[in-house]
């Protein structure tokens, strides 16, 4: 019984030790065995192997440091450019409002550039970061040609808030600041807070009446509730909050019958359904006042003459 117990105890201890034994993964077993044989002297090392290994380690460290410092990329850039892969020809299309210099700067083409080092995905991202460019396609034609096709956003109007002028799309999204350009000069001008978001529908309504639309120079949003029209001769047409189409039809009729756009008026107030109010310019008001005074003087003189 004693021996059985002793045996049992030894077996338990052996089991404990076995449970603590660590087994290397299969992928590491062969390298570890080789190192053990190398250390024990079972494997003979060829001459200069240590020097080669040391050089490989140092070279790897230098290469790693160069990559981190950006020097490796510069070396590749210069080497491949010198080998005949420098960008010599650029075919650019689709840019109407984006300056060529902005495209070149975004692509890093303001200096000598290797075609090999240009990453199309990074180049597309850099181009679409420009205000006007919505999409871009990059193609490398070896040994030295780069093809760039861009798709620009569609301008709808110029939006003025205070003294700031911005070019906007039809949904009111701002493209960028306004810059002098023949095509942009012909865009509708929207003025005031809320004009960008609601301008497309209003401009479309006004364009249904060409006799009015051809004279409009600015669409002015008033109190984010209604619109005024500023004509090319300075007349302001005040439109109602609702029933804009009916007001414009009345305005067209008055223009046909009375040539109101040719009168010396400061404003035409269409906000009331049953009447139209006219505001005279300062000069017209003075002239009218002088006419009234002259008429009254003539009547007074005629009255006195009748008494005599």
Q: What is the pLDDT of residues 185-244, one digit of tens each?
A: 999 999 999 999 999 999 999 999 999 999 999 999 999 999 999 999 999 999 999 999
* Residue 180: predicted pLDDT: 80
pLDDT at 72 over 70: no
Q: Under a CB-based contact definition with an 8 Å cutoff, are residues 151 and 134 in contact?
A: yes
Q: Under a CB-based contact definition with an 8 Å cutoff, are residues 239 and 228 in contact?
A: yes
Least confident stretch, 44-48, 188-192, 241-245, 264-268: 44-48
Query: What average pLDDT score do residues 139-161 get?
Result: 95
103-142 core/surface letters (b: 16 or more CB in 10 A; e: else): bbebbebeeebbbbbbeeeebbebbeebebbeebebebee
* Residue 60: predicted pLDDT: 47
* Residue 273: predicted pLDDT: 92
For residue 14, what pLDDT band results from cuts at 50, 70 and 90? very low
Least confident stretch, 85-94, 185-194, 281-290: 281-290
CATH 3.40.605.10 given to domain 157-284: no
pLDDT at 174 over 80: yes
Give the closest residue to 118 by CA, choosing from 107, 102, 129, 128.
107
Three-state SS for 69? helix
Position with higher pLDDT, 65 vs 294: 294
- Collect all residues with Cβ–Cβ distance below 8 Å to 30 and sequence separation of at least 6: none
For residue 182, what pLDDT band results from cuts at 50, 70 and 90? confident
Query: What average pLDDT score do residues 242-265 get?
Result: 96
Pairwise CA distance, residues 192 & 207, whole Å: 20
* Residue 305: predicted pLDDT: 67
* Residue 155: predicted pLDDT: 97
What DSSP character marks residue 114? B
Position with higher pLDDT, 259 vs 28: 259
Q: Under a CB-based contact definition with an 8 Å cutoff, are residues 216 and 229 in contact?
A: yes
- Note the Cα 42 to chain centre separation in Å: 69
Query: What average pLDDT score do residues 171-182 get?
Result: 91
* Residue 253: predicted pLDDT: 97
* Residue 113: predicted pLDDT: 83
Query: What average pLDDT score do residues 3-16 get?
Result: 43
Query: What average pLDDT score do residues 242-258 get?
Result: 97
CATH 3.10.20.310 given to domain 74-152: yes
Q: In the predicted model, what is the mean pLDDT of the chain? A: 80
pLDDT at 68 over 50: no
Tokens of 261: 């756009």
Domain with CATH 3.10.20.310 in the chain: 74-152
* Residue 114: predicted pLDDT: 85
pLDDT at 9 over 50: no
pLDDT at 274 over 80: yes
184-200 core/surface letters (b: 16 or more CB in 10 A; e: else): eeebbbbbbeebbbebb
Domain with CATH 3.40.50.11690 in the chain: 157-284
Percent of the chain with pLDDT over 70: 66
Pairwise CA distance, residues 269 & 222, whole Å: 14
Least confident stretch, 150-159, 248-257, 284-293: 284-293
């Amino acid at each position: 019984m004693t021996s059985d117990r002793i045996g049992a105890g030894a077996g338990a201890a052996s089991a404990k030790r076995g449970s603590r034994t660590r087994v290397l993964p299969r992928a590491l077993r062969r390298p570890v065995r080789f190192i053990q044989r190398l250390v024990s002297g079972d494997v003979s090392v060829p001459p200069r192997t240590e020097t080669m290994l040391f050089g490989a380690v140092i070279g790897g460290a230098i290469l790693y440091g160069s990559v981190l410092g950006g020097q490796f990329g510069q070396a590749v850039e210069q080497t491949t450019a010198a080998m005949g892969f420098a960008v010599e020809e650029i075919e650019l299309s689709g840019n109407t409002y984006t300056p060529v210099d902005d495209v070149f700067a975004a692509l890093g083409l303001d200096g000598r550039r290797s075609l090999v080092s240009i990453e199309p995905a990074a180049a597309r991202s850099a181009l679409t970061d420009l205000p006007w460019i919505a999409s871009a396609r990059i193609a490398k034609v070896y040994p030295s040609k780069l093809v760039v096709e861009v798709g620009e956003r569609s301008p709808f109007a110029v939006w003025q808030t205070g003294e700031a002028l911005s070019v906007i799309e039809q949904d009111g999204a701002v493209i960028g600041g306004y810059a002098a350009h023949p095509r942009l000069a012909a865009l509708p001008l929207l003025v005031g807070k809320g004009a960008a978001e609601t301008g497309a529908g209003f401009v479309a309504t006004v364009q249904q009446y060409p006799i009015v639309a051809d004279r409009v120079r600015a669409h002015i949003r008033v109190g984010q509730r209604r619109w005024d029209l500023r004509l090319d001769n300075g007349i302001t047409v005040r439109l109602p909050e609702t029933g804009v189409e009916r007001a414009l039809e009345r305005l067209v009729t008055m223009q046909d019958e009375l040539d109101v756009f040719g009168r010396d008026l400061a404003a035409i107030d269409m906000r009331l359904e049953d009447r139209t109010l006219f505001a005279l310019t300062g000069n017209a008001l003075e002239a009218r006042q002088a006419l009234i005074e002259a008429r009254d003087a003539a009547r007074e003189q005629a009255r006195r003459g009748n008494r005599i």
